[in-house]
Amino acid sequence: LAGKTFKPEPSIVDVNGVKIGGKELVIMAGPCAVENYDQIMDAAHAVKKSGAQFLRGGAFKPRTSPYAFQGLEEEGLKLLLEAKKATGLRIITEVTSDKAVELSIPYVDMFQIGARNVQNFQLLKEVGKSKKPVLLKRGSATTIDEWLNAAEYIMSEGNYNVVLCERGIRTFETATRNTLDLSAVPVAKNMSHLPVIVDPSHAAGKSKYVIPLSRAAIAVGADGLIVEVHPNPMYALSDAAQQLNPKEFDSLCKDISMLAPIL
């Protein structure tokens, strides 16, 4: 179902009126995690002003350490909905379990399956049973074929609204958090009709590399970006080093709008 042999022409995924995979770029932006009311509201207003169509923000955080901030869960979902009401932005959030899927349904426009859950087949089937669009991140150690099979799990349950997201893979290189596999964009687009976006933030791991990687992603044919933006990155409860401040995000949007139209 995900393959070009099933459907040769590119798919457009419509998320409550925002079309991903069309002529215009789609920008999703916001903090790594929803932290509190002021933080998410400030982030939402800032990213909206610069041109983003989606607000991102994790309420269920898959952290390496069990002692690190795990997210506000349903309280975070409520704050995302407040931000949606205030700005009109579409909301995307990561779901990490069946329970998180169920809780998120009334609050969000799109589910995110994170890199760590790309082969959590039970969870893939669960979001496949829902009709909500799904952003499927590539795992840090999945081949493109495995990633497309993960999309197949979602689609085989009847949900065809899948968008792929390259976010960097694990290599021997340590200067960046992950190695952004830009070749995955044209390769995935050659194998699949699904839209492909890029997450430069989790690939870079450092804010100073996010803008150049974003430009490269658009140049190589990505349909959009998902970027971490925090009103005050230094004080972020997760991924502080890689989040852009609103001013940096604004300059990213200006940069990429010179390469392709933003919706």
Interface positions with ligand PEP (CB under 6 A) = 32, 58, 62, 94, 114-116, 137, 167, 199, 202
Amino acid at 113: I
Q: Name the minimum Å distance from CB 61 to Mn ion.
A: 8
Interaction residues for Mn ion, span 3-32 (CB under 5 A):
32
Residue 57 C-beta: closest distance to Mn ion, Å: 10
In our burial notation (b when 16+ CB lie closer than 10 A, e otherwise), range 222-234 reads bbbbbbbbbbebe
DSSP string of 195-218, one letter each residue: -EEE-HHHHH-SGGGHHHHHHHHH
Question: How far, in Å, CA of 150 to CA of 75, rounded?
Answer: 29
Closest CB to ligand PEP belongs to which residue?
Answer: 114
Please give the residues from 29 up to 48 whose contact with Mn ion meets the rule CB under 5 A: 32
Nearest approach, Cβ of residue 80 and ligand PEP (Å): 14
Pick from 56, 80, 60: nearest CA to 70: 60
| Between 126 and 239, CB nearer to Mn ion | 239
Exactly one of 44, 239, 246, 253 binds Mn ion (CB under 5 A); which one? 239
Distance CA 262, CA 146 (A): 30
Residue 115 site contact among ligand PEP, Mn ion, none (CB < 5 to 8 Å, cut-off depends on kind): ligand PEP
| Residues in a beta bridge with 26 | 224
Residues at the site binding Mn ion, with contacts judged by CB under 5 A: 32, 239
